[in-house]
Structures are given as C-alpha cells and as structure tokens.
Structure 1
Amino acid sequence: MIATPPPAEPQFVTVSAIVFPPEEERPKIVNVSCRPSPKASQGLCPVPILDSYFNGNEVQQLVLTEGLNGEPLRFPLHLWYAPQLLQKGSPVNRAIFHITSGAAEKSWCGPVVVLKFNGSRRQGYSDAGSNDLPALSAYFLAYK
C-alpha cells in the first residue's frame, strides 16, 4: 500500500501595497496578504485580502496602465476604492489631497489601496513602493 500525502494547502502570498488612509497626510506602505485565485491554474492573479480597509463598503477596482506623460507602465498598478463613500459624506482623503497639492478635480473619499502587478500579464503582484507615487499622483490629478 502506498501512502499519498494530503493535498497541499493553498499558499498565501504577502506583498507591499500603498494605502492612502483618509485621515492621514501621507500614504503608507503596508503588507497585504493575498489568497490564491480559485482559478490559479489558469494563471489568474491572487486575490488580496482588503476587508479591514473598507469596513464592508462595496469596493471597485481599476488598473492603471499609464504613468507620467502617458508612458506605459511596465508594472501596472491595481487600485481599490469605495466610490459610494463620497455620497455618504465621508471626509476627503487627506493623503490624496496632500499628494496632489489639492489640485485634483475629483475628491477622493475613504481609503485607496494600491498593489503593483509583477508584469503586464497581471498574473501576480510585486512590492509597491514610493517609486510608484508619481504615476499615482498624475492619475489622481487627471481623473475627472
């Protein structure tokens, strides 16, 4: 009789993300855990665990593929935010207000979390950091 080992547990991955906390003046670099995608065998990206940032609010996401002056980003940025917080009367996100010097046309409310893809195929994440802030600032300034 041959003993077979139990199936391997899915491996969680931790990466650095940028968080724009609504009540702070500056963005923070934090560690975010990602669970494997249910369709990981098809090359789909891990799923970040962001519940603690959004307190049950509905979250939308977008992918930023262009940086300053419309240059394509080698490592696209994945943003999560809760757009309904503006309608709920949440205060303006001070970190985004600060990074744009208050010149952005759209007011962002609530937290914004940014992860960095590890390549243009968007199959995983790498560590985001302060080098990604200029592209984010340009995006927040241009968004209407």
Structure 2
Amino acid sequence: MQTIHHPCRVCGRPTSQWCSRCNNAHYCSNGHQNADWGIHRAECRPTNTLLIATPPPVSSETIRVSAILFAVDEDRPRPIDLQCHPPHRPSQSMCPIPILQDYFNSQPGEVVLTQGLNGEVLRFPLHVFYSSTAMARGSPVNSAVRHITSGAAPRPWAGNVVALKFSGTRRQGYTDAGPNDLPALSAYFLTFSFQ
C-alpha cells in the first residue's frame, strides 16, 4: 500500500501526519504543529465536530463501537462500548461521531495516529482523545498510561484518554478498537510530549 506524503507546513519535509481537526495541514512532528498553531488557527476548520452533549435516545438503530479507555484511576486500559450519534444516511452502519461526554468534562484534545511502531503506516488510523487541561486542573496522573509505558512517557498524562480506530484511511467512521492497537498507542505515549 502506497502512502501519500505531503510537505510539512513548517519545514517542507514529507510527512503522512496531519492536523486532526481540519485534516488539511500536514506536519512532520508535534513540535512543528504546535509552532504553526498561531498561524494555522485562523484557517483551521473542523471536518466533524465532536459533540459533548446529551446523547440521543437509544433506539434499535443505535450504532455502537468499541474503544479503549485509559481511565485516570485504573491500572490497565480496558475496552468500552461507545454510543454514536446517528449517521447522516440511515443506511450507513459506521459510527460517524462518538459520544464522549461520560469521559471528558470539556471538549477533549485529539490527535490522529497514522504510524505505529517503527514508523509503519497504520492501515486503520487511531484517533486519541485526551483532556488537554486535566493537569492544570490538578487531575492525577493517568495510571493506565503510566502502566502501559512502564512510567517512561516523557510527560505525565492526566485525566482520561480514549482511543478509537478509524474504519479506513479515509477516516469517515470508526470500527472496533482492541488489544492489537495497544502497541501503537504505547509507542505514541512514549514519544508525544505536550508543549
């Protein structure tokens, strides 16, 4: 499978990583994405807005998807069942937008992982949601992330972390995430550092 590389907006180096909010800006590292945010912010428009709101009533047509929860107060990540907002087309069976309100008090930060261990391209990118303000609010360090990284993550993660798996590289919906996704998530936690 051939990967399409785009130039990093900061240095021009080819990359397959992009802004998870608008999917239009490409960066070779989190540092370059953070450095460009002051400029990119003015043009960055979300492709789909995650709704932290009251879930729709449960019906027989409700779509659910399995995700991985790194709960702040649990030692190990665990699978969870997330309800999704109804798809735009009734015939669509994928989860287009997960309901995350039970895990975050405010709009979560997010990142899309397109590469796993040793830089291999993920056939199904992972979407990681985290509380970007938990540490400032005094939330404890996330025990599950600390456990999966053996305490070697460069920065402490605080608050809950939820990981979902896209159903394909076009990222139009989600499929079930599971234990096979943990190595790529662990590699991400070990390399990502907050600015």
Residue 96 in structure 1 maps to residue 135 in structure 2: no
Aligned residues: 133
- What is the one-letter code of the residue matched to 2:99? I
Greater relative CO (CA pairs within 8 A, separation 6+): 1
User: How far, CA to CA, are the matches of 1:32 and 1:142 in structure 2?
Assistant: 27
Q: Percent of pairs identical after alignment? A: 55
Q: Does 1:116 align with 2:165?
A: yes
Q: Distance in 1 between matches of 2:95 and 2:83?
A: 13
Q: More strand by proportion, 1 or 2? A: 1
Q: What's the TM-score once normalised by structure 2's chain length? A: 0.63
What does residue 97 of structure 2 align with? 47
1:7-53 per-residue CA deviation (whole Å, 9 max, x = no partner) reads xx9x4311110000000100010110111355899xx9611011011
Letter aligned with residue 34 of structure 1 = C
2:111 to 58, 62, 66: 62
Matches within 5 A, 1:79-94: 79-94=128-143
Aligned-pair RMSD on alpha carbons? Answer: 2.1
- Extract structure 1 runs of 4+ deviating beyond 4 A: 37-41
Residue 142 of structure 1 aligns with which residue? 191
Name the structure where helix makes up a greater proportion of residues: 1
Match of 1:76 among 110, 125, 142: 125
Q: Which runs of 5+ in 2 are unaligned?
A: 1-58
Q: Which residue of 2 aligns with 1:6?
A: none
